[in-house]
Structure 1
């Protein structure tokens, strides 16, 4: 199952980019034997300032046709890392070939795009900067693959 991180904004070089690259490389390596990955990042940018509606249109074009859509949103479901791993495994076992995680910009996701989502996840009640949300998702993808592989990376 291919994983797509569809996000508003361009992440330049720096600490966040380094972390994302590291975790997604680990995810690809660990997930390959499990039928997970590869992971790709699709960045979109609304240069005309059209707000969340314009960002949603750009995100919709970045999401692969037929992909399961999971939004990252403060109103989404809070779950443990093992539960997230099991969710990925279930989607894979259901025959989903693509899953797209949508991350909005500074103003979040457009309500219309949120309404189209098959699932919605939250990293807690606190609001996180959208660039950090990418890092956190990348790490949780790697952690999920590690859990499914029986690796000691995730400790309870």
Structure 2
């Protein structure tokens, strides 16, 4: 069974998102042990000077890096990353399991994205779209895609 950590910057605020996340965590139980870890979210001033933006990313990045388990296979969600189909994501998860990579960490950045150091530490930079999504909504999207991937791997009809 795979162990999946999802490290996300900030707390989940919206009740409808918390409900959706809770539902998919329940659905994933037969396939993987999934934990959501929340890293610190920095306050973003208006206006935002470029030097302050870099400081915010660095601070959030340090918080993220402290939460990563040693030896984890790190997948950073990054709009500029590799785009996969649901079937390809399922295949990657299956391949990782077959090669003994059972500890996976997915990282969702904050409002400003991810610190370059976090992106460099990632084994895979994964894009769900070139569109920008709210980072809190990405938790739900990621969990749904993980559930879909495990259903594909198990040959169940959810994916159709």
Q: Give the TM-score of the pair, scaled to structure 1.
A: 0.91
Larger radius of gyration: 2
| CA distance in structure 2 between the aligned counterparts of 1:71 and 1:27, rounded to whole angstroms | 20
Find the partner of 1:100 among 102, 105, 109.
Answer: 105
Q: Secondary structure at the match of 1:125?
A: coil
**Distance apart, 1:38 and its partner CA:** 0.5
Post-superposition CA distance 1:111-139 (Å, at most 9, x none): 11101110011111101110111110000
* Correspondence 1:134-149 to 2 at 5 A: 134-149=139-154
Q: Is residue 45 of structure 1 aligned with residue 50 of structure 2?
A: no
Q: Cα distance, 1:48 vs. partner?
A: 7.2
Distance in 1, matches of 2:3 and 2:157, equals: 24
Q: Secondary structure of the residue that 2:159 maps to in structure 1?
A: coil
CA shift for structure 1 position 72: 0.3
What's 2:129 paired with? 124
Shift of 1:22: 0.7
Question: 1:64 Cα shift?
Answer: 0.8
Alignment correspondent of 1:17: 18
Tell me by how many angstroms 1:141 deviates.
Answer: 0.5
- TM-score, normalised relative to structure 2: 0.89
What are the Cα deviations for residues 54-81 of structure 1, in whole angstroms up to 9, with x where unaligned? 1111101111111010000101111110
Q: Paired residues, what number? A: 149
CA distance in 2, matches of 1:148, 1:48: 40
Inter-partner Cα distance in structure 1 for 2:16 and 2:86: 23
Which one of 83, 94, 100 corresponds to residue 78 of structure 1? 83
Helix, strand or coil: the match of 1:145? Answer: helix
Distance 1:41 1:105, change over 3 A: same
Partner of 2:3: 2
User: Are 1:65 and 2:65 matched, yes or no?
Assistant: no
Q: CA deviation at 1:46?
A: 3.7
Distance of 2:131 and 2:14 partners within structure 1? 26
What is the rounded CA distance, in whole Å, between the counterparts of 2:69 and 2:83 in structure 1? 25
